[in-house]
Structure formats: C-alpha cells, structure tokens
A and B are shown apart, each in its own frame.
Chain A
C-alpha cells in the first residue's frame, strides 16, 4: 500500500509571496488532514476534510491560508501572502472512515522557510 505523498519536500520563499503544497492520501482514505509543525512543537491541525467537505478548520488562519479537496482525493494548501511565522513543516495525513481504526498516517511533510 502506497503511503501519503506530498510535494514539494522543501520550499524557500520571501515574505509576502504565495506558496502551494500538494497532498495525495492513501487510496480509499476519506479523511484528510493538514497540520502545521513549528520546530520544537507538536503538530497543530489546520484543517480536516471528510471526502470533499470541511469538518474542522477552526485553527486555519483564513485571512491567508486556504485549502481545497475538490474531488475528495488529493488536496492543496495555499498560503498567500506568507509571513515569517509561517516557517514550519506542513504535514498531510489521512485516515480511513471506518470505525475499526482511528490511525492517522502521515506524509513526509513540506518544509517551508519564509525569509
């Protein structure tokens, strides 16, 4: 079974520029998550999708961050304009919607540096 795929792996941009990250979850996983992990901290949930609908985006800074999962499979997360404090690793995760397992599987992450 292929894991969660993310691209790019690394990105360096200047503040006020825009950036987009892509995630392809494990095949058949209905739930997709985007997390922000600042260096030295635990992952923080930004947004959770169930198929193509948003379940939770309470911690997403909506003035600059947006995310979509139009066909209920892959997803993109965008930041526009970026700030210095957005420097972090952005992790995508997915999980099955069956009640048998709550496990979330993480992708390798995208390391964003904002200068």
Chain B
C-alpha cells in the first residue's frame, strides 16, 4: 500500500521567515495531495491541495509544489505568523477509491 514520509517532524521559525515541509510518497499512481492543519485539540482542516496534473499551486502565503517523477511534494509558508503554529499533515490519495494516507505530521512553532 501507499507509504507517505514527512519531514521534518518539528520546525521552529522566527515570525516573518519561511517554513518548508517535505513529503515523499510511494505509489506512483497517487493523484491528489492535500495538506491539513491541525491545531491542538481541533479537527484537521484542509489548507491547500494539488492534483497530479499540476506542478504548483499558491494561495496567498501558502504554496504547494509537486514533483511526480521524484514522488515528492512540499508545503511552503511565507511570512510566517504566530497563528501558523500548529501540526501540519500531508497526505496522498491512491488511484482507487478516495483513500488518503497521511504523513506523520510536522509540528511548526512560529516564534514572535
């Protein structure tokens, strides 16, 4: 089955700096890659997603890039703010059904 690896597991940045989280996946047929933000004690919430026919997508301060050949995708957060502090999860959707396999998460701390 699909395996998703996520790095780093923790990330500390100064407010205003950029943060980058990287994920790799194993199933070359995966076609959808969402990123979820989960604040302490809250539900995961989708912040951005990308389909396999697109190489990059941007939404204000966040962007996602996908390299299908290398089977990796990354989340980029620019001009980080304290409210960006949370755990971020990447996921990959297999070709069959809508099954998401999640990475292990990255705890991001933005220091004021």
Q: Do A and B bind each other?
A: yes
Give the total of A residues in contact with B, Cβ under 8 Å.
21
Cβ–Cβ contact B99 & A48, under 8 A:
yes
**With the chains together, A40 CA to B89 CA distance in Å?**
11
Check: B29 CB closer than 8 A to any chain A CB: no
Chain A residues lying within 8 Å of B1, measured Cβ to Cβ, are 58
Cβ–Cβ contact A106 & B99, under 8 A:
no
Interface string of A26-41 (1 = CB under 8 A from B): 0000010000000011
Partner of B105, one of A41, A55, A56, A95: A41
**With the chains together, A55 CA to B98 CA distance in Å?**
9
Chain B residues lying within 8 Å of A58, measured Cβ to Cβ, are 1
Closest 7 CB pairs of A and B: A42-B102, A106-B43, A102-B32, A42-B89, A106-B44, A43-B102, A55-B97
